[in-house]
Amino acid sequence: MKKAALHALILCILVSVLAFGPSTPAAEGYDPDATVKIGSMTPPVSLNNVGGAGQGVNEALYCNVYEPLMVLEDDGAITNGLAASYEISGDGLVYTFKLRKGVTFHDGSPLMAADVKFSFNRVLTKASKAARKADLLRVIDKVDVVDDGTIVVKMKQKSQSMMYFVTYVWILKEGAANTEATANGTGPFKLADYKSGTSITLERNAHYWGDAARCKKIIIKYFNNNSAQANALTSGQIDIITNVDSPEQLTNFKGKSKFTITEGKSTVKQVLAFNDQRKPFTDMRVRQAISSAINKEAIRKATWDTYGLLIGSFVPPSDPWYEDLSGINSYNPARAGKLLADAGLPDGFSFELITPATEAHQLSAQAVKNDLAKIGVTVSIKVIDPSAWYQIVFKNRDYDATLQEHVNDRDLVWYGNPKFYWGYDNKDVQQWVSDAQLADTPEQETAIYKKIARTIAEEAASSWLYLYPQLRISASNVTGYPANGKNASFYMGKIRKK
């Protein structure tokens, strides 16, 4: 009798599986043919992620249109992307990647190892402005094709962070051209339309190698002010705001069942970056004075109320080497005045502060100006657009100081590059960055990066005003979007709309 009952139960389960199959859109309660409209205030300068396109291109295209061999997930984990598997040699100098089979680009051509080699070289080329170019150049010797499905990366030196760096290399078809305005990736969505500064439209890739996107179409609409964006969500013109720029935006949505407010973990730092190679910021005492004269907690509270965090360095809490260093060069106007006098500037000085046009940046710029006036430092504020900022500050380094937000995690290494736009030049830090890559264990790497973070904080290489909160607002019938703000990415493949 017991065997008969067991057989009956198994038969029942099999019949259920055959009858209902795997989870369906109807079973999960969403519309697979839905169009989801997303509001954003970070339009990409172009669609070329190695051309200085800004964080907007990451938000729109990373893992949505283009995919890397290895994926940086929203929780910080690194998982297999276009790489089905990989092996690392015992000495850490050879990485062998096996590609997934059956992957095609949106134009129908198959993914080949030659495409991967092309994509790595695209990041490493002299003209590239890719975020992790310097890191990859430091450790990669060459990339070789073994066969159509196998790629080998040979290293100059071992690197604890190599797999993390690989997540930054988007895979494009060999010979890809006009990447500023077109896109041909392997992701769950394909580019349907791009209107620079206005909108990006993505459509579900029907031939995607992985799980199909949960919605048929995504339209990203770009706004130039918070009020217009909030009004668009209230009126139903958009379904999601990817990033809340000020707490005032929350007022119309708190406590209302029609909307959902999500708070995740941010990696976005608002940085007052000095041109460390331009006088008087070449003098560490001047930088320390400026940092000590700024009431960072007051700026955070005025901008974000209860949200946001003081961190005191360039390391967010999600990084393994985070320490609260907000007590270093903290608010102390008397100390600031003495430091200026010690630097030979008892009567202060004047400088120009370049800032982006966003509300958060302009609030901070005005607060910095007011605080520094109290110690005799005169600040003139110049507001510019992202493309001008890239040309004047990032490329030409023709500036005194600038406000900017940095979105990436694990980006402390940029203080080890004196050619980066802030020009911080500390030979010990440069050596420690190299040592961290060569560390035998993650624990050794973490200890070195903690030393770097404390050193740049003590020397006021920059002044880190606060860590942004990660806040999103959506219509309550839209779910499945990521909560965190890892490197400004926003994976859309799991977004569902009822």
pLDDT for residue 24: 56
Residues 6 or more apart in contact with residue 490 via CB below 8 angstroms: 38, 59, 60, 62, 64, 242, 481, 482
Is the residue at 113 inside a domain? yes
Looking at the structure, tell me whether residues 126 and 86 fall in a common domain.
Answer: yes
DSSP at 173: -
Looking at the structure, tell me whether residues 125 and 79 fall in a common domain.
Answer: yes
Cis preceding-peptide flag for 32 (omega within 30 of 0):
no
Is the residue at 102 inside a domain? yes
pLDDT for residue 386: 83
Cβ–Cβ < 8 Å for 491, 64: yes
CATH code for the domain of 239: 3.40.190.10
Average pLDDT over residues 14-42: 70
- 262 is in which domain, residue-wise? 189-266+471-497
pLDDT for residue 26: 59
Average pLDDT over residues 362-366: 95
Residues 6 or more apart in contact with residue 322 via CB below 8 angstroms: 311, 315, 316
The closest of 183, 216, 207 to 103, measured between CA atoms, is 207
Is pLDDT above 60 for 7? no
Lowest pLDDT segment from 3-7, 386-390, 436-440: 3-7
CB atoms within 10 A of CB 101: 10
DSSP at 104: B
- What confidence tier does 1 reach under pLDDT thresholds 50, 70, 90? very low
pLDDT for residue 53: 65
pLDDT for residue 408: 82
The residue written with tokens 């291109």 in the block is 57
Is pLDDT above 90 for 369? yes
According to DSSP, the β-strands at 259-264 and 70-72 are: unpaired
For 303-327, write each residue's pLDDT tens digit: 888 899 999 999 998 888 999 999 9
Is pLDDT above 80 for 15? no
- What confidence tier does 27 reach under pLDDT thresholds 50, 70, 90? low
- What confidence tier does 486 reach under pLDDT thresholds 50, 70, 90? confident
For 94-116, write each residue's pLDDT tens digit: 999 999 999 999 999 999 999 99
Looking at the structure, tell me whether residues 287 and 413 fall in a common domain.
Answer: yes
Looking at the structure, tell me whether residues 355 and 295 fall in a common domain.
Answer: yes
The closest of 381, 66, 385 to 208, measured between CA atoms, is 66
Cβ–Cβ < 8 Å for 79, 70: yes
For 173-225, write each residue's pLDDT tens digit: 999 999 999 999 999 999 999 999 999 999 999 999 999 999 999 999 999 88
Is the residue at 181 inside a domain? no
Is the residue at 201 inside a domain? yes
Average pLDDT over residues 65-78: 91
Q: Where are the alpha helices (DSSP H) in 256-410?
A: 284-293, 296-304, 333-342, 359-373, 386-389
| High-pLDDT (> 70) share of the chain, % | 94
The closest of 470, 42, 36, 473 to 252, measured between CA atoms, is 473
Looking at the structure, tell me whether residues 357 and 461 fall in a common domain.
Answer: yes
Is pLDDT above 60 for 17? no
Is the residue at 480 inside a domain? yes
pLDDT for residue 52: 79
pLDDT for residue 487: 72
